[in-house]
């Protein structure tokens, strides 16, 4: 605090010394003026001198003259006791101060710091001042231009805003989002967007400059003033714009300046009117960003392609000023020729190759490989690759060209019957699944299909993913070959013996096997005889001899009651085993009973004897 007070005292002392020096300088100036002023002729003075009044020591003044004198004093001299703003004239300038004449008994002094906004201040300029100190220690009249400007500032700012007048302001410094401008002694805000019609990249170039502005907004509550220099420029540009727009025609070539660059195009200033060159109209070649072709503030010629009814949206072109590359394409290029180019764009359906600058051909993904199993174009090429291809189609009128890479190598189907005859066995890679089968690639360009029913002799495969995986190697056998349709039918199970031929004997009808119940289902149960053979046991065939039914995990004997090799269907029964035994027992019992009955049954001879005895007995009775 002591150091701050000391600095303030030193600053005050220095200011006092400066003021005293200025006063001394001003006094010397006044003396010089007096010396150069015309001196009255002594003869004329003596002739007109009133000796009588001099001797008496009085001079009577008429009332009319006294009124005239008072009027002259009020009109020509300032009452230094007033705190009003008055107008003064700069009569002398030093390195630090300005001497101002306000028609008082002495000239006043103002520091040049108060005129920073007006660096062109000169002797004779009229300025507004406020009497700050009527008489300082040295008897000097001290004035303030800053205070006078502040008092008058708000009235002037409001008037300028209401009348839309142009005001002059001094740019003091930069601030966040814009600049601080001194207007009539008030600090106004100049937004960065209101400095110029084009984007400003260097704000510092405007600092310490005097510019013209328009007052666009006043906030009386917070004493904020917003000014705009852009509004003045726009007014001038609007007139130019109307004139330019009225003369616009399609196909017209104009000179413009690059005003702004975006990812989708370039805005060109045509002298008050902006037009857009879309990125596709910058160059016949493909570009990733407009800054590959143009740069800010660059001057260039553009052609008007189109505009709306009001001509407020103008579409421009740059590449149209050059000859189309297709027109310069050599007539020697024809279908079947080999060409080299660079990959410029990759899409899902293919890749675009720039054969010569501005001329592109499309390689469809189906023309990248002989394989019928289509993949993404990115699996074959990437942007920037140099590739060689064959011209498949060429339309110079529509400017279209299709190319092929696979044509650079022989078609693998040419000698397919030699390499892959029916019944031959090979190894292939699983490339893709469908609900009905598996696509296996035998070599680049040759794919075959294994139907789901040809995957396994024994397993019931619901989906191929249950049996194999993409990328796995499978051994296959060629089942059918369609050369014209370029189709191969393959089988995997055919590479092994059919175990059902063996199982047909082992698990024939009425054969009995021991197994456990592995699963209970709605209509019966499932049993497994081995890893290949599973059998179904109907609900009524699960009944045991005691009347109860077999449960999950119970082991028992089962009799095969149905075996179908073609449909891989096996049906077994536990009940049939003891029921068959019961049937045999019943048959044996019936047989034994019949034998006993036969033994007890009388013979014919016995009957005859009985009848003869009875006859004899009857005849003896008659006698």
pLDDT profile of the chain (623 residues), mean per 10: 45 47 50 49 55 53 56 50 72 87 78 80 85 66 78 80 85 88 86 80 85 86 85 75 76 88 90 85 85 89 82 82 79 86 88 86 87 75 89 86 88 84 90 89 86 84 88 91 86 83 79 89 88 86 86 88 83 84 62 63 61 66 52
Which class does domain 164-233 fall in?
Answer: mainly beta
What pLDDT is recorded for position 451? 92
From the list 119, 223, 233, the residue with the least C-alpha distance to 171 is 119
What pLDDT is recorded for position 571? 92
Q: Where in the chain is the domain with CATH 2.40.50.140?
A: 2-50+62-145, 164-233, 247-321, 325-408, 416-495
From the list 554, 546, 549, the residue with the least C-alpha distance to 578 is 546
What pLDDT is recorded for position 267? 92
Q: 2-50+62-145 — its CATH code?
A: 2.40.50.140
∠ CA(594), CA(598), CA(600), 5° rounding? Answer: 120
Q: 416-495 — its CATH code?
A: 2.40.50.140
What pLDDT is recorded for position 19? 45
- 169-193 burial, b at 16+ Cβ within 10 Å, e below that, comes to bbbbeeeeebbbbbbbbbebbbeee
C-alpha span between 263 and 272 (Å, rounded): 23
Q: How crowded is the C-beta side of 222, counted as CA atoms within 13 Å?
A: 8
Regarding the domain with residue range 325-408, which homologous superfamily does it belong to in the CATH classification?
A: Nucleic acid-binding proteins (2.40.50.140)
* pTM of the complete model beyond 0.75: no
Backbone Cα Rg of the chain = 60
Instruction: Report whether 236 contacts 254 (CB < 8 A).
Output: no
Q: 247-321 — its CATH code?
A: 2.40.50.140
Q: In the structure encoding, which two tokens stand for residue 593, read together?
A: 């009973």
What pLDDT is recorded for position 536? 92
3-class SS of residue 233: helix
């Amino acid at each position: 605090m002591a150091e701050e007070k000391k600095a303030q005292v030193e600053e005050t002392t220095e200011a006092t010394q400066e003021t005293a020096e200025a006063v001394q300088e001003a006094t010397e100036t006044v003396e010089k003026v007096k010396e150069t002023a015309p001196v009255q002729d002594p003869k004329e003075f003596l002739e007109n001198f009133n000796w009588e009044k001099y001797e008496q020591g009085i001079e009577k003044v008429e009332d009319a003259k006294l009124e005239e004198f008072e009027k002259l004093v009020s009109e020509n001299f300032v009452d230094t006791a007033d705190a009003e703003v008055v107008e003064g004239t700069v009569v002398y300038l030093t390195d630090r101060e300005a001497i101002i004449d306000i028609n008082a008994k002495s000239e006043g002094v103002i520091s040049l710091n108060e005129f920073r906004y007006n660096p062109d201040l000169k002797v004779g300029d009229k300025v507004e001042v406020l009497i700050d100190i009527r008489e300082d220690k040295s008897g000097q009249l001290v004035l303030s231009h800053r205070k006078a400007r502040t008092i008058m500032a708000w009235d002037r700012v409001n008037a300028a805003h209401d009348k839309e007048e142009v005001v002059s302001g001094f740019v003091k410094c930069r601030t966040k989002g814009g600049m601080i401008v001194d207007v009539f002694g008030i600090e106004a805000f100049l937004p960065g967007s209101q400095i110029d019609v084009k984007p400003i990249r260097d704000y510092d170039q405007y600092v310490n400059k005097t510019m013209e502005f328009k007052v666009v907004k006043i906030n009386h509550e917070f004493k904020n003033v917003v000014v705009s220099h852009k509004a003045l420029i726009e007014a001038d540009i609007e007139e130019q714009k109307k004139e330019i727009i009225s003369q616009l025609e399609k196909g017209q070539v104009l000179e413009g300046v690059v005003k702004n660059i975006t990812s989708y195009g370039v805005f060109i200033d045509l002298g008050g009117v902006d037009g857009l060159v879309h990125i596709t109209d910058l160059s016949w070649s493909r570009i990733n960003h407009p800054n590959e072709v143009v740069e800010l503030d660059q001057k260039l010629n553009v052609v008007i392609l189109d505009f709306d009814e009001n001509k407020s949206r103008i579409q421009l072109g740059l590449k149209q000023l050059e000859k189309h590359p297709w027109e310069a394409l050599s007539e020697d290029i024809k279908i079947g020729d080999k060409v080299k180019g660079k990959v410029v764009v990759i899409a899902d359906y293919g890749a675009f190759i720039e054969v010569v600058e501005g001329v592109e051909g499309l390689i469809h993904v189906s023309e990248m490989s002989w394989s019928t199993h289509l993949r993404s174009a990115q699996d074959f090429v990437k942007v920037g690759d140099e590739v060689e291809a064959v011209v498949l189609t060429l339309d110079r009128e529509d400017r279209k060209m299709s190319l092929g890479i696979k044509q650079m190598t022989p078609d693998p189907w040419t000698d397919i019957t030699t390499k892959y005859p029916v019944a031959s066995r090979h190894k292939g890679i699983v490339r893709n699944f469908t609900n009905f089968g598996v696509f296996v690639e035998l070599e680049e360009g040759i794919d075959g299909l294994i139907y789901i029913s040809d995957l396994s002799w024994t397993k019931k495969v619901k989906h191929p993913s249950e049996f194999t995986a993409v990328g796995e190697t499978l051994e296959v056998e060629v089942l059918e070959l369609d050369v014209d349709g370029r189709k191969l039918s393959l089988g995997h199970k055919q590479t092994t013996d059919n175990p059902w031929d063996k199982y047909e004997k082992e698990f024939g009808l009425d054969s009995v096997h021991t197994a456990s119940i592995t699963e209970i289902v709605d209509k019966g149960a499932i049993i497994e005889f081995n890893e290949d053979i599973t059998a179904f046991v109907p609900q009524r065939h699960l009944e045991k001899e005691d009347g109860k039914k077999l449960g999950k995990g119970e082991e028992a004997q089962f009799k095969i009651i149905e075996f179908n090799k073609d449909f891989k269907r096996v049906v077994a029964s536990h009940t049939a085993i003891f029921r068959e035994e019961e049937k045999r027992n019943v048959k044996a019992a019936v047989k034994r009973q019949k034998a006993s009955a036969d033994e007890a049954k009388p013979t014919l001879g016995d009957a005859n004897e009985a009848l003869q005895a009875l006859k004899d007995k009857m005849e003896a009775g008659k006698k």
